[in-house]
Amino acid sequence: MQNSGHPRVEIVVPVRNEEYDLGPNVRRLREFLDTAFPFPAEVCIADNGSTDATFEIGTLLATELPGVRIVRIEQPGRGRALKQVWSGSSADVLAYLDVDLSTNLNALLPLVAPLVAGHSDVAIGTRLARGSRVVRRPKRELISRGYNLLLKATLGTRFSDAQCGFKAIRADVAAELLPLVEDPSWFFDTELLVLAERAGLRIHEVPVDWVDDLDSRVAIAQTVADDLRGIARLHRTVGRLPLEPVRQTFGRPAVADPRTALAARVLRFACVGVLSTIVYAVLYLLLRHTMPAQVANLVALLVTAVGNTALNRRVTFGVRGIENRGRHQLRGLVTFFIGWSLTASSLWLLHTAVAVPATAVEVTVLTVANLAATVVRFSLFQSWVFDDEAPTLPTFEPPAVLDHTRSN
């Protein structure tokens, strides 16, 4: 079956106590691979902690069917099984699918082909994209959509379906990512995808035909609890993971029209600026009751400057992780002093012209001064604050267009 020189695919079927589905579905999978799949492919049954006859049945299948093998992992956990088998595989592309074959096998070639071609790094089946055809109970549909919305809200993910049991990854990419994945169970999929996305890898999505397995024995309550703990852990730790080497080797930076990219960045910066200005005005009004105008202005600006730099770092300029965070905040403080000098000058001029101006007039003048300082602040953020290779304050120039290329 294997032809030298052709890319090899290994498909892992993780199982635990699946003595009834294992035999017919592995036979069906093997027949499909032999008759309708163009790449040399092996099937690995990954028995993780079965207590019924699953391992014995899998052993018989491995003996009977060419291109089928079985691995026994004593501890349960789909993530543990996938990590162990994928880490020891010699195939070029590593995939897995659920033993119930809920996903139509015709999606297998569209899943692995972009990886074989080098176009993508990870591929997932999705039940939540346009073009997917899904038969599923309303409760499972609601939980799935809610979970993926939660991922977008908490971790900023862009992939559409984290949990579909139909995924593939290039072996060279897996060798770098798998050591960073901690979860041994159901959250393994989500964690792998989040790390891949944070490393700038390309995730290819395949709309699938999917029919719910009515005999599914997934403990929904326990799985939800484990997933929530996994999300909380990733939220705390993902910024500290050593993903930069993966990004340097495999990352694919987004290529966009520079005018569109600049417009989007300006819009995000403006939204952060509006929020900061509102917070600044509220703080100034609160502090003005207990301290002079200049002191209230300085304290309010200082507090909002730290938050403004942190928000722009993440939201506007897409800088994540703790690396260079202190340097960025220090540079942000330089822009703060520029803003402070403008607002302090405005206050001085106002108090020179009017002995005791109304508080509303002070706030109005300071708001206008802050808006005027925004142009300077954006230019500094764009060309200096978050540019870790810039040794000195640069002149204000339009952003350079980067040529993002990658050879495979």
Q: What is the pLDDT of residue 22?
A: 97
Question: Do 158 and 197 touch, CB atoms closer than 8 A?
Answer: yes
Distance CA 267, CA 273 (A): 10
Burial class (CB in 10 A: 0-12, 13-18, 19+), 156: middle
- The beta strand positions in 107-207, using DSSP E, are 122-126, 133-135, 166-170, 203-207
Distance CA 309, CA 313 (A): 6
- Tens digit of pLDDT at every position of the chain (408 positions): 344 468 999 999 999 999 999 999 999 999 999 999 999 999 999 999 999 999 999 999 999 999 999 999 999 999 999 999 999 999 999 999 999 999 999 999 999 999 999 999 999 999 988 889 988 888 888 888 899 999 988 888 999 999 899 999 999 999 999 999 999 999 999 999 999 999 999 999 999 999 987 665 566 778 888 899 999 999 899 988 999 999 999 987 765 555 567 788 888 888 888 888 898 889 989 998 888 888 887 888 888 888 889 888 888 887 877 778 888 888 888 887 887 788 788 878 888 888 777 878 877 887 788 777 777 788 888 888 887 544 443 333 333 333 333 333
Neighbouring CB atoms inside 10 A of 189's CB total: 22
* DSSP 3-state of 123: strand
Q: What is the pLDDT of residue 25?
A: 97
Asked whether the whole model's pTM tops 0.75, one would answer no
Distance CA 45, CA 198 (A): 30
The two tokens of residue 320 are 């994540």
Q: What is the pLDDT of residue 406?
A: 39
Distance CA 79, CA 86 (A): 10
Distance CA 162, CA 194 (A): 9
Q: What is the DSSP string of 314-356?
A: IIIS---SSTTHHHHHHHHHHHHHHHHHHHHHHHHHHHHH-SS
The bridge status of strand 166-170 relative to strand 93-97 is: antiparallel
Q: What is the pLDDT of residue 255?
A: 57
Neighbouring CB atoms inside 10 A of 370's CB total: 21
Question: Which is nearest to 93 in space by CA: 118, 71, 66, 72?
Answer: 118
